[in-house]
Each structure stands twice: as structure tokens, then as C-alpha cells.
């Protein structure tokens, strides 16, 4: 088998950045792929996603999340029909797991739309009751040894923290108590790093095992997943999965296990993947050094202006 015959492609559904109507509403209204997916979402929920999204005031409201899901799936449709993308693997880091589950057929798109709304409501309720003072902070250009020194100070003071993500060399997501945030930012800056953003509600921390249990009992119990139609690479540790049970575990792991994008990259590279197609309003994953250094990257996003606005915020979940 030649090298070209061995080359493989992965489709990547990105984590969610802020999805505001002012930036993506026109795409939802005019793009034919988005209109088709939007109609399916409306039917699944029995209400207008477009109208509810237009009235949303929070970046991660339930209808903002559905709109992001609609756009991601629409852009995957476009990638297939206009670019001829036929992936060998599927990846959905963080929120992207939802689009991935629909794409590989483990759940129908309508089911994923309803699941997204139910999980959004559950998370909002949970963080209204629990971990109300916790944020997830993302930062870059922080050498591992310097980060160990920062965390040693946390340990000496018996202050809680959890890793929520390992995205690239020197790029981390760390969940901390809000009262520790200013000191953490100062320490990062002193170490030569750069603080990007702080996210509420927090995400992907091992401490959130109670949220995982609630999601499993109150939401996922109502859904029956099918085996994925193509291999899926988990965003927690890069494991390749092929069964419905493993898909369910991956989607539950997102609540209390950190993202490890570097592990995903290593798995894809080891499997012979040479091209990744990122389908969605991505502001992060296609721009990471470990992604660009290892693959040909095809970013199927919105308009250039919308991508630039999302990119400048640099947020994802």
C-alpha cells in the first residue's frame, strides 16, 4: 500500500465558543445547509430556534447551543457535498461531542437537539446550586515547570484546583475558586504566560462527578445510543471507540474528565490521518500548533468576518 493510499481524513466538530445572533443569525437565515438543519431542529423542539436564539442574552443559553449545533452540522453537510469530504475518523472535543454523535449515527439529529436543550438546563440548574464560585480559566505559553510551581503554591495553601483541559504545549484549562483567579493570572503572567479567558459555568473538572451522575440519571437514561458508523476518537484520552456503550461513556466523561487534545492528535497521527476537516464556527482547534504542525487543516466555517470575531474571543467549551 502506497503512502497516498494510507492517508486518512478526520472530521472534527469543534468545542463551542460564544454564539451570538448578531454574528451567525444571517448564516442561519441564508445558508441552504443551515436552513435545512434549522428546520429539523424546529421540528424536534416544537418551537422556532431562530426566534428563541435571537432573543437569547447569554453566550451559552440553550438556544445558543442549539444554534451552534445546527451550524456545525450544516457545515459538515457542506463539507461532504461541496468538498467531497469522506472521513475515516470523527472527533468532537467538548461540546463538539453532540454534533459528532449525530454525524456518526449514534443518535439522530433530532435526538441530539433535544439532548442539547435538556443538558443545558440541567447544567444551569446544577451550577446554580453547586460550585457557584468556580470558574475555568484558560491560558497559554506557560511552561510546564513554571505551572508546577504555581500549583505547588495552591497545594501549600490547601487551595482547590482541577485541570479541565490540556490543549497544546503550554496551553491549559484550570478550574479554580473565583477568589483565586486574580492571583492565578498574576502568577501566569510572571511565568511568561498569557491568560485568555475565564468561563462560567466551569467545565470538564473531576470535581463535577455529581453533575455527571445527574446527567446520566435525568437525561441520558431517556436516550438509546447506537454503535457509531465510523470510529470516534475520544477527546479525553484519544481512545478509538466503536460501540454505543463507549459513546455513552465518552459523552458522560465530558462532565468530569479534562480534554486532552494532544492525545487526540497523537492518536490521529498514529492512525495515518494526514488531513483534518474542522466543520463548525471554530475559534480554537484548527489554530492550535499541534493541529497545524501535524495535519493539513481544512476549516469549514462561517464568513471570514465571523471567524475573526470568534477567533479574537478565543473561548470554547
Rg of the Cα atoms in the chain: 19
Domains of the chain and CATH, by start: 7-129+207-313 (3.40.366.10), 134-201 (3.30.70.250)
Q: What's the pLDDT tens digit per position in 41-62?
A: 999 999 999 999 999 878 789 9
**Strand partners for 172:** 139, 166
Helix, strand, or coil here: 94? coil
Q: Give the Cβ contact number of residue 297 at 10 Å.
A: 17
b/e per residue 201-229 (b: at least 16 CB within 10 A): bbbbbebbeebbebbeeebbeebebeebe
Q: What's the pLDDT tens digit per position in 266-281?
A: 999 999 999 999 998 8
Q: Is the pTM of this model over 0.85?
A: yes
Distance between CA 231 and CA 246 in Å, rounded? 11
Q: Are the beta carbons of 18 and 59 closer than 8 angstroms? A: yes
Give ∠ CA 237-14-51 in degrees, rounded to 5: 140
**Strand partners for 278:** 12, 299
Site of grid cell 480534554: 259
Q: What's the pLDDT tens digit per position in 152-168?
A: 999 999 999 999 999 99
Question: What does the pLDDT read at residue 105?
Answer: 98
Amino acid at each position: 500500500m502506497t503512502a497516498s493510499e494510507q492517508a486518512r481524513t478526520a472530521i472534527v466538530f469543534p468545542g463551542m465558543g460564544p454564539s451570538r445572533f448578531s454574528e451567525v443569525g444571517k448564516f442561519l437565515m441564508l445558508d441552504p445547509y443551515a436552513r435545512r438543519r434549522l428546520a429539523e431542529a424546529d421540528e424536534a423542539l416544537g418551537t422556532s430556534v431562530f426566534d428563541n436564539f435571537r432573543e437569547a442574552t447569554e453566550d451559552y443559553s440553550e438556544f445558543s447551543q442549539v444554534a451552534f449545533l445546527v451550524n456545525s452540522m450544516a457545515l459538515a453537510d457542506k463539507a461532504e457535498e461541496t468538498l467531497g469530504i469522506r472521513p475515516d475518523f470523527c472527533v468532537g472535543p467538548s461540546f463538539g461531542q453532540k454534533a459528532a454523535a449525530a454525524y456518526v449515527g449514534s443518535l439522530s439529529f433530532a435526538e441530539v437537539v433535544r439532548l442539547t436543550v435538556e443538558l443545558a438546563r440541567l447544567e444551569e440548574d446544577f451550577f446554580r446550586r453547586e460550585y457557584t464560585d468556580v470558574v475555568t480559566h484558560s491560558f497559554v505559553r506557560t511552561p510546564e515547570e513554571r505551572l508546577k510551581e504555581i500549583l505547588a503554591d495552591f497545594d501549600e495553601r490547601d487551595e482547590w484546583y482541577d485541570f479541565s483541559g490540556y490543549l497544546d504545549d503550554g496551553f491549559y484549562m484550570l478550574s479554580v475558586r473565583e477568589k483565586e483567579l486574580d492571583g492565578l493570572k498574576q502568577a501566569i503572567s510572571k511565568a511568561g504566560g498569557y491568560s485568555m479567558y475565564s468561563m462560567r459555568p466551569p467545565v470538564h473538572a473531576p470535581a463535577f462527578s455529581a453533575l455527571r451522575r445527574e446527567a446520566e440519571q435525568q437525561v441520558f437514561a431517556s436516550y438509546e445510543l447506537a454503535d457509531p458508523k465510523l470510529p470516534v476518537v475520544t477527546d479525553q484520552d484519544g481512545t478509538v471507540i466503536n460501540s454505543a456503550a463507549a459513546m455513552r461513556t465518552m459523552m458522560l466523561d465530558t462532565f468530569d474528565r479534562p480534554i486532552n487534545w494532544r492525545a487526540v492528535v497523537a492518536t490521529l497521527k498514529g492512525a495515518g490521518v494526514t488531513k483534518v476537516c474542522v466543520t463548525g464556527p471554530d475559534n480554537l482547534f484548527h489554530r492550535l500548533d499541534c493541529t497545524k504542525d501535524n495535519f493539513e487543516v481544512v476549516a469549514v466555517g462561517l464568513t471570514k468576518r465571523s471567524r475573526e470575531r470568534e477567533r479574537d474571543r478565543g473561548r470554547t467549551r
